[in-house]
Structure 1
Amino acid sequence: MNSIQDTTNKKNLYLLIQLRWLAVIGQVVTILFVDLVLGIPLPLIEMAVVIAFLVALNVVSLLRHRNQDAVSNTELFLELLLDVAALTVQLYLSGGASNPFIYLYLLQVIIGAVLLETWSIWTLLAITSACFIGLTTYNRPIALPRQTSSDLTNLQTQGLFICFVLAAILLVFFVTRIDRNLRARDAHLASLRQQSAEEDHIVRMGLLASGAAHELGTPLATLSVILSDWQRMPLFKADSEVTQELQEMRSQLDRCKAIVTGILMSSGEMRGEGTLRTSVNIFFDGLAEEWRAHRSPAWFDYENVFGADAAIVSDSALKQIVFNLFDNALEASASWVGVTLERRDDMIALQVRDAGPGFAKEMLDQFGKPYNSSKNRPGGGLGLFLVVNVVRKLGGTVTAGNEITGGARVELTLPLASLSPGEAGEADGA
């Protein structure tokens, strides 16, 4: 959380830099206007030194902004204190508390209230209040031209008006930008909390799956022994039809054992351990053939237009999420499932289509959330939920939509870099 706040502070520092440039321009224009147009002599050299200090401070702040990843609350507080110091010197040189621009202290306090932590805000308020009080006694009076009291009142009113307009413009500019940064930070925090909750959910499901796989091991082994005994019995061996059915049962039982073994391996291994070095075309072509053999769809339209092959590493998790996409399409459309594999720059794009009724709007709005399904059965929607989270871990994305001609479309994109043998080696080393 602290790193997110520091990053937000870095954005806010950049806004302070922009605000300071505006203040520099405003001071130059105001000083020249007062001295040349109104004919009120000002200590131009001393004021120019203060402006040069603000310019130097901005240059240093820009270097800080570019070279550092994060900015702390203390740094923002010091930046605002330096701005207050520069403003105090300028006011001291131009009449002190009688200068209508003294109310720019409020601008500093409001900006501090938006940006800083509580202790910093109250400290800044105390310092600006002390500066205000000090300027009532200690200041360099300015020599006003001989004017009537009404002229001086008008001059004071004009100064207050200019101060008000300047402060209002800067506040609107600054606060709206700050609000945008804060909303972006809050949205990012909400996304991280949601991701953390989803990952906790996946961990719980993984533990349940691992426990179920362990529990299923014993009854599957018992059934395997019983089927072996039956296949050796003369009574069953004499009936060819029963023998064929027993062989089919034995085949399906072996498949169940293989699935359980895969679950145990997946739950006990981190990515990069026990992975298979292969290539994009070999891996996805093999998955398509294996899925076609096991699911026997009425029509499976698989098209590989990936082009030049690329080396990757794969594991059971990647295989399972692809099978989940195929299975969901088959459940929605038993007559036809279409799959296209292609390359987009350095990304693998796998598009799975079906000829079913498509996604409802509310399902698209909650796509990838657990238990978001139209199947009306316990655990529905977990397949796509796992797909989205596994792909996100690999740096990819999953999008869903409906085809214009009917049916649903789910597209999975994965960066080749996340599946490259080099990345796998780094994972092993870690």
Structure 2
Amino acid sequence: MKGWLSTGARLLPGQWPADAAGRKNMALLAQLRWIAIAGQVATILFVHWAMGIRLPVAAMLLVASIAAAVNIATFATLRRRTDVARAELFLALVFDVLLLTTQLYLSGGATNPFIALYLLQVALGAVLLDRWSIWGIVLLSLLCAAMLSLVYRPLDLTDALEGRLFDLHILGTWICLAMIAVLLVLFMSRMTRNLQAREAYLAQLRQQAAEEEHIVRMGLLASGAAHELGTPLSQLAVVLGDWRHMPEITAHPSLLEEVGEMQTAVQRCKQILTGILISSGEARGEAPKVTPIRDFLLEIAQSWRSTNPGIPLRCDFGPHDYPRIIADPVIRQAITNLLDNAREAGATYIDLLVGRDSTSLNIAVRDNGKGFSEQMLADFGKPYRSSKGKQGSGLGLFLVVNVVRKLGGNVSASNGADGGALVLLRLPLSTVGLEESR
């Protein structure tokens, strides 16, 4: 466990970089272009030297070289880019259409069976581009195909091939259709996966925005409730203070003890309300303090033990040096929520495990309770997902996940091999740490 807490391994699925689908699709287009270049060169050399059809080899190889140079520049650009706009994908497809048109012009125009490759460009545009750009590729392809039926360089056939032109056209058509089918299956499926991953990432962002809006509403309600409860609690504290000095109470030690317990409970309630107000930024003069991590977590553990004396809570900090941190009350509340959840899950003991690596502070709460169900693990961090079966339950873990996410960290949950649950918080030291220990 100590080694796991100290590693920098990713604990959550990698998130899709913002709008990275365009970059991946441009890379796929460039890969497709390499296949096209290789196919063009092989076809040109085979047709010219093996079949005896005299082609302008120098001009056609020059066109292929230009395409290769553009491809090299594309890959070099993609290494420095995080995204590619649809307009750039449109220009890339326009370039491919013009490249194909040039090669067809030099090799028989519309009589060349490979003119059907325009359909591949249209299909790619239908997946990658918006509506108007797709029709742009369609119109450009139709215009180029129509032009090739009027203006082109005729094939220079030998006398032996003149009578076999139709057979050659049928064979070329079959090869072209086979190429289109294979390339569509290979590349369209990969592009579709890229777009699906992008949509999943955007859906995750929308879900996160909805959760944050939910948290804001909850914060406003909690802040309002804290203000409203403050007055009656203060009045109750005054009344209990008066009771402690009444002869009727002081004459009965058992009553005096019960009044003391009531005062402790009232004071605890006031501390909780103060924590709510601090977290919402409404309490003045009580800004988060700077403290060593060990002291901060031991204070949380001691406070939790005082209200839950029947459950052992062990702290293990491992053989690490820790920097000082800004003791934000929201971190305290997140850890307290995890401890409370472990208690409510039927745990008879709880471990608070602390570790670190070069970039993050790792805090885990492990218990021997009933653990998480498969459904709970799948819905971990979503509001109102709970195994307690009570109305309004399930907000504790939801708040923990969102608090840690706001700090730039993440939360993961799992079940232990021997039972119980483990929830791990990874907090970036760049956010919560004040300075590195020397």
Q: Do Structure 1 and Structure 2 share a fold, with TM-score over 0.5? A: yes
What is the deviation of 1:245? 2.4
CA distance in 1, matches of 2:94, 2:425: 51
Relative distance call for 1:125 and 1:422 in structure 2 (3 A) is: farther
Relative distance call for 1:190 and 1:422 in structure 2 (3 A) is: farther
Q: How does 1:30-429 map to 2 (within 5 A)?
A: 30-147=43-160, 151-268=164-281, 274-333=287-346, 335-421=348-434
Task: Please list every run of 5 or more consecutive structure 2 residues that lacks an aligned counterpart in the other structure.
Answer: 1-15
Relative distance call for 1:335 and 1:136 in structure 2 (3 A) is: closer
- Aligned CA RMSD, in angstroms, stands at 2.2
Q: Is the 8 A contact 2:324 2:435 kept in 1?
A: no
- Alignment deviations for residues 56-78 of structure 1 (CA, whole Å, 9 cap, x no partner): 22123223322333322211111
When structure 1 is superposed on structure 2, of 398-407 and 310-319 the one drifting more is: 398-407
What is the deviation of 1:16? 1.0
CA distance in 2, matches of 1:241, 1:269: 39
Relative distance call for 1:5 and 1:344 in structure 2 (3 A) is: closer
Q: Is the 8 A contact 1:306 1:343 kept in 2?
A: no
- Divergent runs of 4+, >6 A: none
When structure 1 is superposed on structure 2, of 273-282 and 9-18 the one drifting more is: 273-282
CA distance in 1, matches of 2:311, 2:378: 31
Task: Please list every run of 5 or more consecutive structure 1 residues that lacks an aligned counterpart in the other structure.
Answer: 424-430
| Higher RCO (Cα < 8 Å, 6 or more apart) | 2
Q: Is the 8 A contact 1:281 1:306 kept in 2?
A: no
Which amino acid is 2:84 matched to? V
Relative distance call for 1:308 and 1:13 in structure 2 (3 A) is: same
- Structure with the largest fraction of helix: 1
Q: Is the 8 A contact 2:347 2:370 kept in 1?
A: no
CA distance in 1, matches of 2:140, 2:363: 61
User: Secondary structure at the residue paired with 2:342?
Assistant: helix
Q: Is the 8 A contact 2:339 2:365 kept in 1?
A: yes
CA distance in 1, matches of 2:256, 2:40: 98
How many residue pairs match? The answer is 419
- TM superposition score normalised by structure 1: 0.91
Q: Is the 8 A contact 1:297 1:334 kept in 2?
A: no
CA distance in 2, matches of 1:112, 1:121: 5
CA distance in 1, matches of 2:19, 2:369: 48
- Alignment deviations for residues 197-216 of structure 1 (CA, whole Å, 9 cap, x no partner): 21121111111111110110
User: Secondary structure at the residue paired with 1:94?
Assistant: coil
CA distance in 2, matches of 1:148, 1:12: 42
User: Secondary structure at the residue paired with 2:159?
Assistant: coil
Which amino acid is 1:240 matched to? P
Q: Is the 8 A contact 1:306 1:341 kept in 2?
A: no
CA distance in 2, matches of 1:250, 1:263: 20
- Alignment deviations for residues 173-209 of structure 1 (CA, whole Å, 9 cap, x no partner): 2101101101111111121122122112111111111
CA distance in 1, matches of 2:37, 2:435: 52
> Percent identity of the aligned residues?
48
User: Which residue matches 1:427?
Assistant: none
